């Protein structure tokens, strides 16, 4: 093996993504062998459509975790903004397209995100506490002030958008069909934008810098407070978009349905190798981790495991996955210090 | 201790400034009590109401104590509800086995169940502690994962159903009142709180925990066995949670995998509101107990206004948390600026 390939391999084994990819592959193959249904076209489409909402939420959670914070309020935030939007559109008997719904929800999401950003950025309060408090506040506003109830009908524009599909996959064996929702495009677009932002903009690099060390980022000239503020606004917008998509796909608005998702989303992000302390992680890993969680949640039934075992697997996955990445960090530090010592001896 | 001045105003000021956060909570509780006294006196200020409150809060109060002790070390315990439910479900199955044909329980059953619950709690806590200390998984993720795992085990063994067909004697015994006045749940909570207070402020173990929370590196280099310390901490936390689970078992007279799921975040909220710094190293049990009492009073007080949706409580709750934090921010800043000015 030439040295270039070897160094590349070495680089790959130090990262988290290859491992998570292998686990993912192993799981897929296991399911395929057991059921023969995993790589059928309709199952793949099903997984892709199940990935849309968690994927979007994971992008938002990823941004926050990279910046060294943590956000547990995004399900409550999304529920509130979507409930307000749907209720408002129903009240005015709106019959136009889905765009208005998306725009209103994103606008509300931005305001709510700014609420988080204000306290975390300008008042420098710990992100965990603020988002705990704000998720409680959002829930209170939704269930108390807006007196939320399950809305079984949603505006016609949202309904048709939710049922419209890019293409329909049909399983030749079982005859089951699955639709690829149009919302998948929204997911891909947001993902591409986030990738571009993290890779090529000062703002995105600033998020990494803040996560690495806030003081250093400040001295390097990043506007720490403003970056954080803007970031939480963006997270609010992404979460609200995910909320609208979820409501459209479910064809009804269930106010408390999304609450409690936060922990699994964060778990997926961290499984993908994002450091919970901030500053490290890739969008690719984050998506792989989320995909793993989504597959475990959706496809265990294909393995013949009853759904009541789902949480056991998710929990074990979180512990093993984070354990592996924790072990890698230790190993990396150890080799680094060994190298430094070797250099000193030389 | 500093000398306390004789002039009453100065004295009050001194007492206040020694622990601003604590006194702010006291003021809030008093203000709420006055407000309730003015608006709904008869419905709130009666013995039965206080007894009900005292029987309700220990279940999440005990869990909060566990979260607190972990947070002092700079960690967190998100698995408390999972531990509580797993304990209560296992013990419910045991109680079903022990229930005799007449529907009664043998005399040794209740002490046995409690001892076993403590054992299960300790075991699960050691598991958490190992994950945090030996596997070096960040506490928030380790306990998130183990909490999910415990809940999963609960779901797998109960298939999501409630376990309830055990003798009512258990629930009746725990719901007794000593001298017809003090609920047993309250006594369990107070004993546990006193125990933790003693551990934290009177023993070397407590001092070490605060040291570890202030700076893990410094603690390690000063020769503390941090791994063992962490395992002990998470063990205590899970024991508290297991006791909380036993109280839930008595209060609902059944056990289920999804009981008390809101408690996870509520406990964190209580602990932070009680003045524990999530970064670690700071916090007192008195603050946490006050926060627990404040939460219970707010909720019960709100229920006395049937016109107001009970959902507003979560709004108030989050609002109070953020308000307290912002207040702390301003006072800390002012003090900080004063220091710099000097």
**ipTM > 0.85, yes or no:** no
* Res B6: pLDDT: 62
Contact B159 A276 (CB under 8 A): no
Domain that holds residue B259: 21-336
Residues of chain A contacting B137 with CB distance shorter than 8 Å? 319, 322-323, 326
* Res B56: pLDDT: 82
d(CA B50, CA B58) in angstroms, rounded, equals 13
Contact B131 A323 (CB under 8 A): yes
- Confidence grade of residue B236 (pLDDT, cut at 50, 70, 90): very high
Residues of chain A contacting B315 with CB distance shorter than 8 Å? 136-137, 139-141, 144-145
* Res B1: pLDDT: 45
Contact B155 A263 (CB under 8 A): no
Average pLDDT, chain B: 83
- A134 close to A70: Cβ distance less than 8 angstroms: no
Using the predicted structure, report yes or no on whether residue A189 has a pLDDT greater than 80.
yes
* Res B320: pLDDT: 80
Report DSSP state, residue B77.
-
- A232 close to A111: Cβ distance less than 8 angstroms: no
- Confidence grade of residue B333 (pLDDT, cut at 50, 70, 90): low
**Across residues A21-38, what is the average pLDDT?**
84
Query: Which residues, other chains included, contact A165 with Cβ-Cβ below 8 Å and sequence gap of 6+?
Result: A179, A180, A181, A182
Residues of chain B contacting A260 with CB distance shorter than 8 Å? 261
Least confident window among A6-15, B73-82, B311-320: A6-15
Of B131, B268, B311, the CB nearest to A140: B311
Of B149, B272, B329, the CB nearest to A312: B149
**Across residues A116-131, what is the average pLDDT?**
87
Alpha helices of chain B — where are they, by DSSP H?
Answer: 8-18, 20-39, 41-44, 47-72, 80-98, 109-133, 139-158, 168-174, 184-202, 204-214, 216-221, 226-252, 263-273, 285-303, 312-341
- Confidence grade of residue B87 (pLDDT, cut at 50, 70, 90): very high
Task: Work out the angle between the directed axes of helices A262-271 and A74-91 (0-180°, nearest 10).
Answer: 130
Task: Work out the angle between the directed axes of helices B263-273 and A127-140 (0-180°, nearest 10).
Answer: 120
Residues of chain B contacting A322 with CB distance shorter than 8 Å? 137-138, 141-142, 145
Optimal mutation site among B144, B277, B282, B313, interface A, most CBs of chain A within 10 A: B144
Contact A266 B144 (CB under 8 A): yes
d(CA A207, CA A77) in angstroms, rounded, equals 22
The position carrying tokens 């686990």 is: A23
User: pTM value?
Assistant: 0.81
Higher pLDDT, A145 or A238: A238
Query: Is B261 domain-assigned?
Result: yes
* Res A158: pLDDT: 82
Contact A318 B141 (CB under 8 A): yes
Least confident window among A222-236, B89-103, B223-237: B89-103
Give the torsion sign (CA, A205, A208, A214, A216). Answer: negative
**Across residues B91-107, what is the average pLDDT?**
81
- For chain B, the residue count is 342
Pairing of strands B177-178, A177-181: unpaired
> What's the Cα-to-Cα distance from B183 to each of A177, A308, B47, B95, B254, rounded to whole Å?
59, 36, 12, 22, 19
Query: Is B32 domain-assigned?
Result: yes
Closest residue of chain B to A312, computed from CA coordinates: B152
Query: Is B160 domain-assigned?
Result: yes
Contact A319 B137 (CB under 8 A): yes
d(CA A337, CA B7) in angstroms, rounded, equals 60
**Across residues A208-235, what is the average pLDDT?**
91
Report DSSP state, residue A118.
I
Q: How many CB atoms lie within 10 A of CB A26?
A: 10
d(CA A152, CA A276) in angstroms, rounded, equals 38
Query: Is B33 domain-assigned?
Result: yes
- A323 close to B135: Cβ distance less than 8 angstroms: yes
Angle, vertex CA B222, rays to CA B221 and CA B225, nearest 5: 85
What is the total count of domains within chain B? 1
Using the predicted structure, report yes or no on whether residue A5 has a pLDDT greater than 60.
yes
In chain A, what percentage of residues exceed pLDDT 90? 30
Query: Which residues, other chains included, contact B115 with Cβ-Cβ below 8 Å and sequence gap of 6+?
Result: none
Name the minimum distance, in Å, from the CA of B258 to any CA of chain A.
Answer: 12
Query: Is B25 domain-assigned?
Result: yes
Contact B309 A144 (CB under 8 A): yes
d(CA B70, CA A247) in angstroms, rounded, equals 38
- Confidence grade of residue B336 (pLDDT, cut at 50, 70, 90): low
d(CA A224, CA B338) in angstroms, rounded, equals 25
* Res A97: pLDDT: 76
- Ramachandran angles phi, psi of B177, nearest 5°: -120, 135
Q: How many CB atoms lie within 10 A of CB A287?
A: 23
pLDDT tens profile A244-268: 999 988 888 888 778 778 878 888 8
Query: Is B47 domain-assigned?
Result: yes
**Across residues B16-38, what is the average pLDDT?**
79
Using the predicted structure, report yes or no on whether residue A332 has a pLDDT greater than 80.
no
Residues of chain A contacting B314 with CB distance shorter than 8 Å? 136-137, 139-140, 143-144
* Res B123: pLDDT: 94
- A62 close to A70: Cβ distance less than 8 angstroms: no
Name the minimum distance, in Å, from the CA of A72 to any CA of chain B.
Answer: 9
Angle, vertex CA B157, rays to CA B154 and CA B158, nearest 5: 80
Q: How many CB atoms lie within 10 A of CB B252?
A: 16
pLDDT tens profile A45-103: 888 888 999 999 999 999 999 998 888 889 999 999 999 999 888 888 877 778 888 99
Query: Is B342 domain-assigned?
Result: no
d(CA A9, CA B119) in angstroms, rounded, equals 47
Residues of chain A contacting B78 with CB distance shorter than 8 Å? 263
Using the predicted structure, report yes or no on whether residue A1 has a pLDDT greater than 70.
no
* Res B235: pLDDT: 93
Cβ-Cβ contacts under 8 Å between A and B: the total is 157
Residues of chain A contacting B155 with CB distance shorter than 8 Å? 308-312
The position carrying tokens 């190992």 is: B130
d(CA B25, CA A336) in angstroms, rounded, equals 48
pLDDT tens profile B271-326: 888 888 777 788 888 889 998 988 888 888 877 777 777 677 778 878 887 887 78
Domains observed in chain A: 3-345 (1.10.3470)
Contact B141 A322 (CB under 8 A): yes
- A102 close to B276: Cβ distance less than 8 angstroms: no
Closest residue of chain A to B272, computed from CA coordinates: A129
* Res A21: pLDDT: 86
Of A129, A137, A326, the CB nearest to B136: A326
pLDDT tens profile B39-72: 777 777 777 778 888 888 888 899 999 999 999 9
Using the predicted structure, report yes or no on whether residue A178 has a pLDDT greater than 90.
no
d(CA A60, CA A237) in angstroms, rounded, equals 9
Residues of chain B contacting A128 with CB distance shorter than 8 Å? 268, 278
Q: Residue B329: which CATH number?
A: 1.10.3470
Contact A140 B315 (CB under 8 A): yes
d(CA B155, CA B145) in angstroms, rounded, equals 15
Using the predicted structure, report yes or no on whether residue B332 has a pLDDT greater than 70.
no
Report which secondary-structure segment, H or E, holds A64.
Answer: helix A41-66
Contact A309 B137 (CB under 8 A): no
Of B152, B265, B318, the CB nearest to A140: B318
For chain A positions 274-303, those within 8 Å of chain B (CB to CB) are 276-277
Distance of CA B300 to the CA centre of its chain: 18
Query: Is B5 domain-assigned?
Result: no
Closest residue of chain A to B279, computed from CA coordinates: A126
- B168 close to B40: Cβ distance less than 8 angstroms: no
């Amino acid at each position: 093996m030439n040295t270039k390939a070897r160094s590349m391999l070495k680089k790959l084994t130090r990262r988290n993504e290859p491992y998570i990819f292998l686990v993912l592959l192993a799981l897929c193959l296991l399911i395929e062998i057991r059921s023969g249904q995993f790589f059928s076209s309709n199952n793949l489409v099903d997984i892709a459509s199940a990935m849309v909402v968690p994927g979007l939420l994971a992008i938002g959670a990823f941004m926050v975790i990279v910046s060294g914070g943590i956000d547990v309020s995004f399900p409550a935030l999304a529920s509130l903004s979507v409930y307000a939007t749907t209720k408002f559109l129903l009240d005015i008997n709106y019959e136009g397209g889905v765009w208005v719904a998306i725009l209103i929800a994103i606008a509300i999401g931005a305001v709510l995100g700014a609420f988080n950003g204000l306290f975390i950025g300008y008042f420098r309060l710990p992100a965990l506490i603020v988002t705990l408090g704000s998720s409680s506040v959002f829930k209170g506003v939704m269930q108390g002030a807006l007196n939320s109830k399950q809305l079984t009908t949603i505006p016609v524009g949202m309904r048709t958008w939710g049922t419209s599909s890019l293409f329909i996959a049909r399983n030749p064996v079982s005859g089951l069909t699955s639709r690829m929702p149009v919302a998948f495009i929204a997911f891909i677009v947001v993902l591409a934008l986030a990738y571009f932002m993290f890779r090529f903009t000062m703002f995105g690099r600033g998020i990494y810098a803040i996560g690495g060390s806030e003081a250093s980022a400040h001295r390097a000239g990043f506007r720490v407070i403003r970056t954080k503020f803007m970031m939480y606004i963006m997270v609010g917008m992404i979460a609200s978009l995910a909320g609208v998509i979820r409501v459209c796909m479910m064809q009804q608005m269930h106010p408390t349905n999304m609450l409690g998702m936060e922990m699994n989303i964060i778990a997926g992000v961290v499984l993908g190798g994002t450091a919970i302390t901030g500053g490290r992680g890739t969008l690719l890993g984050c998506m792989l981790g989320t995909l793993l969680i989504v597959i475990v949640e959706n496809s265990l039934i294909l393995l013949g495991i009853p759904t009541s075992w789902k949480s056991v697997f998710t929990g074990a996955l979180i512990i093993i996955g984070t354990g592996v990445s924790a072990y890698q960090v230790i190993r990396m530090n150890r080799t680094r210090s060994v190298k430094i010592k070797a250099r000193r001896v030389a | 201790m500093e000398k306390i001045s004789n002039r009453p105003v100065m004295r009050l000021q001194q007492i206040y400034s020694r622990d601003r956060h604590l006194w702010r909570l006291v003021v809030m509780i008093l203000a709420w009590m006055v407000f309730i006294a003015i608006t709904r006196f008869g419905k709130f200020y009666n013995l039965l109401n206080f007894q009900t409150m005292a029987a309700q809060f220990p279940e999440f109060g005990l869990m909060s104590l566990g979260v607190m002790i972990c947070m002092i070390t700079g960690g967190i315990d998100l698995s408390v509800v999972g531990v509580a439910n797993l304990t209560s479900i296992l013990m419910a199955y045991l109680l079903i086995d022990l229930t005799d044909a007449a529907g009664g329980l043998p005399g040794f059953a209740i002490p046995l169940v409690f001892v076993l619950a403590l054992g299960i709690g300790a075991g699960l806590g050691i598991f958490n502690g190992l994950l945090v200390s030996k596997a070096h998984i960040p506490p928030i993720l380790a306990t998130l994962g183990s909490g999910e795992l415990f809940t999963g085990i609960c779901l797998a063994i109960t298939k999501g159903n409630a376990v309830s067909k055990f003798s009512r004697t258990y629930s009746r015994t725990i719901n007794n009142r000593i001298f017809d006045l003090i609920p047993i749940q309250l006594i369990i909570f107070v004993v546990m709180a006193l125990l933790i207070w003693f551990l934290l402020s009177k023993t070397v173990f407590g001092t070490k925990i605060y040291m570890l929370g202030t700076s893990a590196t410094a603690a390690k280099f000063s020769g503390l066995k941090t791994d063992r310390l962490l395992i002990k901490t998470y063990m205590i936390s899970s024991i508290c949670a297991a006791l909380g689970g036993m109280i839930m078992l008595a209060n609902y007279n059944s056990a289920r995998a999804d009981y008390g799921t809101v408690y996870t975040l509520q406990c964190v909220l209580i602990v932070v509101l009680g003045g524990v710094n999530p970064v670690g190293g700071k916090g007192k049990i008195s603050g946490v107990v006050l926060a627990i009492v404040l939460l219970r009073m707010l909720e019960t007080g709100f229920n006395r206004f049937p016109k107001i949706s009970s959902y507003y409580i979560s709004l108030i709750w989050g609002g109070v948390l953020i308000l307290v934090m912002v207040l702390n921010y301003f006072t800390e800043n002012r003090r900080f600026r004063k220091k710099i000015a000097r």
